[in-house]
Amino acid sequence: MVLVCVCVREREREIERERERDHVMMVQSLTKHTLSVCERERERWVCVCVCVCVEGRGMAAAVVVATHPSPLPAFLFLSLRVWLCVCGCVCVCVCVCEVVLLVMNGRRYECGQPAAGPQPRIRLGHGFFHRERDSEAQGRQCQEMRARCERPNGFRCCPYYTSTTPFAPDREYKGHKLDSLPSTEVELTKEDAFKYYKDAATIRRMETRAGESYRNKQIRGFCHLYSGQEAVCVGMTAGFRPEDSIITAYRCHGWAYMWGWSVKSILAELYGNSAGASKGKGGSMHIYGEKFFGGNGIVGAQVPVGAGVALAHQYLKDNGVNFAFYGDGASNQGQVFEAYNIAKLWKLPVVFVCENNKYGMGTSVQRSSASTLYYTRGDYIPGLLVDGQDLLAVREATRWATDYARENGPLVLEMETYRYSGHSMSDPDTTYRTRDDIKKMRTDFDPITMMKHRMIEAPKRRSRPLIRRFVIQSTLRLTRPSRRLPHPSPT
């Protein structure tokens, strides 16, 4: 008897794997991450069995289409095929691939079910090297060094500008007048991980492209790039709820993207075309959206406006929290303190977020601020310091902060982050920091690389090449047509 069995299999697997890997950080490997990834694998096959009776009385063929999950256990299924041989002979139909399949898979999972057990948990990095956040001592020492320095740009003599990275973000939360802190163990699903990575990488590509366009004089005016700070906007947007609103300063391209504007409309706005987010009338600094109040040019002016938006949330009782962003430079503006006072007095649902990227245009934080502990600047407003390069820490802190602000009123968050490009495209970026510093931050504390390390569990063929290809192609495709779009209309 001849048995022919043809299996055509469609495979979409669902396998749960648990692995533990050491997360090797560039400087020290201290943290371990447990990451479980649920992969789906669906098995579907068409089996054609041809039984030929030895006695030659006839052929019987049975076409069995089976999909997984099958209501019957495998062995029964096998025997069913035996039974179906109509010539009356006993045939044993053994499907080669079926056997192989059975042998290969130790366990089978029901597709359509979520992965068994709790979602994967990631422990956020901590115990990293701490830097003394004593700005007074640093500032004094810096001034002394510079006074003695003979070089024309005194800053190079200051130890805090040498090639050892001066700004290693603190890898744990620090609270000011807070009883509890956000948790350091977070969940990460695969879909979320890919989404965050893709968003951050898209923003990075978009900003790079914007920088190139500016140099080619396709973009005029001002262009403040967000490269290096992506973790803040991607992480925080992941932590917002639909009723929350934000207001930020001029470094708003990343926020515009996270708020739903496409790369095309953002770049069109930079070019000044009518397809842009503000119909080409605002430019780089003035992009707005639903519950996204911009995009503001004057430093610090958006903070009291944010407090006002929070007052509206409170008045309308819509449970929304306003996040008012400002930078380390703007934190010395008087109106910021006025906003703090009013917010605390009236218990407004506002979170003041200082995106501390260590430089206020050309002035480092030590030279501009008497206190560089920006999360304590609120004084009577509790504050939280977050590692702004760690996307998951940012997300966790945001979720915690929205709950806090809803209950207890204002909060100050400080996101310790870093920008790779200059303040704006007109800033040569060489007079106040060295290229080595920037390179060091790029290698050690890049938010996208950090996210990638965390996603190591994704199958190799699907993670890196697919994402990069997708992001690069889509960004290129979207950046080209903008130049041909018309100018904004006079209305």
Distance of alpha carbon 313 from alpha carbon 33, whole angstroms: 39
At its nearest, how many Å lie between other proteins and the CB of residue 487? 6
Q: Quick one: 255 or 271, whose CB is closer to other proteins?
A: 271
At its nearest, how many Å lie between other proteins and the CB of residue 339? 14
At its nearest, how many Å lie between other proteins and the CB of residue 299? 6
Residue closest to 287 by CA, chosen among 300, 271, 303: 271
Q: Which two tokens stand for residue 393?
A: 């820490």
At its nearest, how many Å lie between other proteins and the CB of residue 432? 7
Q: Quick one: 180 or 216, whose CB is closer to other proteins?
A: 216
Under 8 Å between Cβ of 310 and 232:
no
At its nearest, how many Å lie between other proteins and the CB of residue 23? 38
At its nearest, how many Å lie between other proteins and the CB of residue 363? 6
Q: Quick one: 332 or 463, whose CB is closer to other proteins?
A: 332
Q: Quick one: 412 or 471, whose CB is closer to other proteins?
A: 412
Q: Quick one: 137 or 361, whose CB is closer to other proteins?
A: 361
What phi and psi, each to the nearest 5 degrees, are found at residue 231? -60, -30
Amino acid in the structure at residue 310: A
Distance of alpha carbon 58 from alpha carbon 51, whole angstroms: 9
At its nearest, how many Å lie between other proteins and the CB of residue 272? 4
The alpha carbon of residue 128 and the mean position of all alpha carbons in its chain are separated, in whole angstroms, by 21
Tell me 486's DSSP state. P
Q: Which two tokens stand for residue 396?
A: 């966790």
Residue closest to 387 by CA, chosen among 89, 193, 167: 167
Q: Quick one: 224 or 313, whose CB is closer to other proteins?
A: 224
Q: Quick one: 42 or 220, whose CB is closer to other proteins?
A: 220
Footprint on this chain of other proteins (rule: CB under 8 A): 146-147, 152-153, 220-222, 272, 280-283, 285-286, 297-300, 329-330, 332-335, 360-363, 367-369, 426, 431-432, 487-488
Helix (H, G, I), strand (E, B) or coil at 14: strand
Which residue's entry shows tokens 């639909």? 242
Alpha carbon separation from 43 to 66, 95, 98, 270, 358 (Å, rounded): 9, 15, 11, 49, 53
At its nearest, how many Å lie between other proteins and the CB of residue 44? 57
Beta-bridge mates of residue 324? 247, 352
Distance of alpha carbon 256 from alpha carbon 205, whole angstroms: 14
Distance of alpha carbon 34 from alpha carbon 20, whole angstroms: 5
Q: Which two tokens stand for residue 210?
A: 């914007």
Q: Quick one: 281 or 477, whose CB is closer to other proteins?
A: 281
Q: Which helix (H) or strand (E) holds 448?
A: helix 447-454
